[in-house]
């Protein structure tokens, strides 16, 4: 029976989706595999019950590389349903780190509630002697229960740092301090004595889900000697939109330029991002394949969004428009 003291604590719905945080070393494969439920993860953090009431939903138990649009939609529906309940103060999602920033951004764009949504993962699996999952889960509950966390959108809480979904990316394959927000920095920190929130994300927008499926959008990389054939193949295979992982501030070679011109000529929206970790893309250069020539053939520029985040915004935008000006306005917002 729940004590009256416990019943006065904030209620957070904890949705478990898998990832390294839910893995242990398999004795046969001698490598981490999915193993732990959300309830079992919660049992590793007994102190969490003094911070919030936790209601566990075991949605998936998959590596984060398995996350895809159908699973994003299922997760979004589960999170939205929890947030709609008036007694729920926020939602925690545990998830693998490899696509954690994509899922966070998808939720940030598609959820309308001001209640906090805190995503976590772990860089070390549950068989590791320095498993970082319990600390991240504890801090997620602290953020979820914090009244100041309302209106911040989806966040990632890892290694005592709180990052906004739009800005954050995984920057190291193994370090526990992998998630960083580039030029703009963290939203705040989870110190030992309290959660400190220092800024609010200003560039937020809402693109609701309009159906049970999302348009197909492919990412095509630019590199020295790229032929443009992969872009043409994506058009042939039925892509509804394409994101180019371009060079520098949004440039490609002449062959890729011709492929982009072909795609836009077929009515396929093409968005220009960059493989460079920081900074905006812009239509600056005038050679064939320079940003100015890409803009002239109808390409859209992704501002400072990474290719993977630009893809998610484009998928959601294509539910309602293919108009270049309207798409550009969404990327500029």
Which residues are tagged catalytic? 97
Count the residues in the chain.
333
- Tokens at 116, concatenated: 């906090």
Residues sharing a CB contact under 8 Å with residue 131, sequence separation 6 or more, in sequence order: 44, 122, 124, 125
Return the biggest CA–CA distance within the chain. Answer: 71
Query: Partners of 247 in the beta sheet?
Result: 251
DSSP structural state of residue 303? T
Residue 154 backbone dihedrals phi, psi, to 5 degrees: -75, 140
| Beta carbons of 60 and 42 less than 8 angstroms apart | no
Cα separation, 169 vs 277, in Å, equals 9
Beta strands in 129-278 (DSSP E): 154-158, 161-164, 169-170, 179-180, 188-190, 195-197, 217-221, 241-246, 270-274
- Answer positive or negative: Cα dihedral of 72, 75, 77, 83: negative
């Amino acid at each position: 029976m729940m004590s009256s003291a416990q019943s006065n604590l904030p209620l957070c719905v904890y949705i478990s989706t898998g990832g390294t945080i839910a893995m242990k070393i398999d004795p046969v494969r001698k490598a981490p595999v999915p193993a732990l439920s959300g309830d079992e993860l919660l049992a590793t953090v007994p102190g969490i019950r003094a911070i919030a009431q936790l209601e566990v939903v075991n949605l998936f138990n998959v590596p984060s590389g398995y996350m895809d649009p159908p699973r994003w939609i299922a997760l979004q529906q589960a999170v939205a349903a929890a947030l709609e309940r008036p007694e729920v103060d926020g939602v925690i999602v545990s998830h693998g780190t490899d696509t954690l920033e994509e899922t966070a951004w998808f939720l940030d764009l598609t959820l309308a509630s001001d209640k906090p949504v805190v995503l976590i993962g772990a860089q070390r699996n549950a068989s590791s002697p320095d498993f970082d999952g319990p600390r991240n889960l504890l801090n997620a509950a602290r953020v979820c229960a914090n009244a100041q966390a309302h209106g911040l959108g989806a966040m990632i809480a890892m290694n005592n740092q709180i990052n906004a979904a739009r800005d954050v990316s995984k920057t190291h394959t193994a370090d526990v301090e992998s998630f960083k927000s580039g030029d703009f920095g963290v939203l705040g920190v989870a110190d030992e004595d309290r959660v400190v929130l220092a800024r609010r994300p200003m560039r937020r927008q809402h693109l609701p889900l309009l159906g049970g499926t999302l348009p197909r959008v492919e990412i095509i990389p630019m590199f020295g000697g790229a032929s443009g054939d992969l872009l043409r193949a994506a058009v042939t295979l039925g892509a509804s939109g394409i994101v180019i992982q371009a060079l520098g501030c949004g440039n490609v070679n002449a062959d890729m330029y011709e492929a982009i011109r072909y795609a836009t000529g077929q009515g396929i929206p093409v968005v220009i991002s960059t493989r460079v970790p920081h900074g905006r893309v812009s239509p600056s250069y005038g050679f064939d394949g320079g940003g100015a020539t890409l803009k002239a053939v109808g390409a859209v520029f992704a501002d400072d969004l990474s290719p993977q985040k630009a893809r998610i915004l484009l998928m959601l935008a294509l539910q309602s428009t293919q108009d270049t000006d309207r798409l550009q306005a969404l990327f500029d917002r």
